[in-house]
Amino acid sequence: MAESGETGGAGGGAVHSTSPADQLTSEFLLYKQTKEITSVHVSVLCRDLLVTLALGQVLSLLICAIGLTSKYLADDFHANTPVFQSFLNYILLFLVYTTTLAVRQGEGNLLAILKQRWWKYMILGLIDIEANYLVLKAYQYTTLSSVQLLDCFVIPVVLLLSWFFLLVRYKAAHFVGAGLCLLGIGCMVGADILLGRQQGLGEQKLFGDLLVLGGATLYGISNVCEEFIVKNLSRVEFLGMMGLFGSFFSGIQLAIMEHKELLKVSWDWQIGLLYVGFSAFMFSLYSFMPVVIKRTSATSVNLSLLTADLYSLFCGLFLFHYKFSGLYLFSFFIIILGLVLYASSSTYVAQDPRVYKQFRNTGSQLATGSPPLGPRVLEPSVTYTSLGPEPGDELPVRVA
């Protein structure tokens, strides 16, 4: 028995011993595995960055197309009907998304939504209508350069509203990236001034500038509300409510303010085609923007839209024979650099369980007796929501 025990002891000792060769092999395998994970992580980040930039530029191209059709309508056919153009877009939203909500069952039904929060969407619809109207109206009183420059006021508005109401927290890279984007717009406006592109100068320039600032502020409010809705409720609900209240109030505004302008329009197939094109581009912009905002943020989207003016200028070189300046290309690359810098770093949401419980994951539950997240939990390298757990709540970290 003693001999057997000694043998067993010796055998047990042999199991726990590790040779230097085995230890070196284990370390090499661990290093290889870590390197593979790192390379996959970097490739995923690069892919997400490229997708984010591409989605933002699709929105910019849509805005460029909207601007070109509006310019043809106003300059070539003397059709100054901004309210009617917005009304057509809201009617399309109503026909597609509001009717979708009407045939839904349960809490996502149109009547159920109206019963819970009709007044909120009514206010948001008015804000969206007047934002479009104020900026389009400003072109009659101030310069094109002033509109392009002052319209950037939407960026600080979205940053501040996201900070205080969505509790988004930014890093230094985000502020530097936003600053570079605004610098690019400044260079573009400077090129316009040097080339004498001062279309739209009116007698009441200060009034026009105030209209732009008011429109940019309303755009910022609308975009931040849109981000909250699409990330907490649904894209179809947002667009359906915009179609319902937007078509209602823009129809009233159209009947009061623009019915005489519509009577002055010399209708033919070319004007009809331009109105159809404008409505299609605007409908595509409204339908696609919530998708991009849900993937990124209202701030990122508005930074991406700064390139729309440059796309319009590049089209104007061929369509309207604008003069070219090297500052345009410099402005474009500065804005793209700012977008890359902004998108390469993640934002995060401050702790507030009362407001952001709906941001939490719904697919994973806290394990019984699991300790709460402490202040030393490392911040992940993607956008997340950090919340203190409560009994019965889901895991309070949401990767977005």
Tokens of 54: 């591409």
Task: Give pairs for 393-397: CB < 8 Å, separation 24+.
Answer: 393/353, 393/357, 393/360, 393/366, 394/360, 394/361, 394/362, 394/364, 394/365, 394/366, 395/360, 395/361, 395/364, 395/365, 395/366, 396/353, 396/360, 397/360, 397/361, 397/373
Q: How far apart are CA 163 and CA 26, in angstroms?
A: 47
DSSP state of 110: H
pLDDT of residue 325: 77
pLDDT of residue 37: 62
pLDDT tops 90 at residue 218: yes
In this structure, of 55-64, 151-160, 169-178, 313-322, the range with the lowest mean pLDDT score is 313-322
pLDDT tops 60 at residue 145: yes
Q: Around Cβ 105, how many Cβ atoms within 10 Å?
A: 7
**H or E element that contains 168:** strand 168-169
Tokens of 306: 């700064």
Mean pLDDT of the chain: 77
Note the pLDDT tens digit of each residue in 161-181. 999 888 888 888 889 988 888
Quote the pTM value: 0.73
Q: What percent of the chain has pLDDT over 70?
A: 74
Note the pLDDT tens digit of each residue in 266-290. 889 999 999 999 999 999 999 999 9
Q: How far apart are CA 286 and CA 27, in angstroms?
A: 53
Tokens 């952001």 -> residue:
356
Query: How far is Cα of residue 256 from the mean position of the Cα atoms in its chain?
Result: 33
Query: How far is Cα of residue 122 from the mean position of the Cα atoms in its chain?
Result: 22
